[in-house]
Amino acid sequence: MARLLQRVVDPPHACTYLPDQVASLDTRLMVDVEPDELEAMLSRGWRRFGPVYFRPLCSPCMGCVTLRVPVATFVPSSSQKRAAKKAASLRREWSAPRVDSERLRLYGAWHAQREIARGWDPSVLDRQRYAQDFAFPHPSAREVAFYDDADGGRLVALGIVDRTPNAFSAVYFFYDPARARDSLGVANVVLLLDDARRLGLAHVYLGYRVKGCASLEYKERFGPHEVLVGRPAPNVEPEWVPGSSS
């Protein structure tokens, strides 16, 4: 059963995603969170990094909208099919998340490119920080690694995924910036949905969609999808409604 160790509510500050807005997060440090408990939190708009669970408290913006894709009705677009087809030449391996020099190098190269292309703040992860954020021991935590056997089995992309009784949650994804034209991020989502269908899962959670933020707005291109209404409390049944695609 989940145990809450600490709760912090951020004071209002400049939003990372929408510079003209003010943001605040409800952040909780929790341990012993079981997969069914995580799924209940996901369905109410929470996200997880390591032992940290968070949800926006921003008002009145409400720009961070939780989005999930029902597996049974998902229909990939032509471009999404092409991305998945390109990725078919790569070897995908599911395992427990781990940290090593290869993963640290890949994350560093990817994030450095994003800092240049999208103005992100620098993020240097050492082994300890990577282990906490991406490889923290959790019964739901998985990684799916993409290897290029035509290039000596080199790691070219990696996704962090949570598996709950009825869903996948796509936590994070990074890739070799030299492979940017292969749209591996798009392929990762399509392949997760394929995996979920084979496993009989109902949804794939994609986290927050933020209109006006290129790093998060793309999520609405996967459809049909659903969006969460508001920020329901633990004792309130979450309401999901059909979302619109751009």
Residue-by-residue pLDDT tens, the chain, 246 positions: 999 999 999 888 888 788 888 888 899 999 999 999 999 999 999 999 999 999 998 877 778 899 999 999 999 999 999 999 999 999 999 999 999 999 999 999 999 998 888 878 888 889 999 999 999 999 999 999 999 999 999 999 999 999 999 999 999 999 999 999 999 999 999 999 999 999 999 999 999 998 878 778 889 999 999 999 999 999 999 999 999 865
Domain ranges of the chain: 65-242
Strand 167-175 and strand 203-209: pairing? parallel
pTM: 0.94
Query: Measured between alpha carbons, how far is 49 from 14 in angstroms, rounded to an integer?
Result: 21
Length of the chain: 246
Identify the pLDDT of residue 246. Answer: 55
Residue 167's nearest CA partner among 76, 49, 41 is 41
Residues in contact with 75: Cβ distance below 8 Å, sequence separation at least 6, in sequence order: 223, 224
CATH 3.30.1050.10 fits 65-242, yes or no: no
**Cα atoms in the Cβ-side hemisphere of radius 13 Å centred on 168:** 29
3-state SS record for the chain: CCEEEEEEECCCEECCCCCCCEECEEEEEEECCCHHHHHHHHCCCCEEECCEEEEECCCCCCCCEEEEEEHHHCCCCHHHHHHHHHHCCCEEEEECCCCCHHHHHHHHHHHHHHHHHHCCCCCCCCHHHHHHHHCCCCCCEEEEEEEEHHHCCEEEEEEEEEEECCEEEEEEEEECHHHHHHCHHHHHHHHHHHHHHHHCCCEEEEEEECCCCHHHHHHHHCCCCEEECCCCCCCCCCCEEECCCC
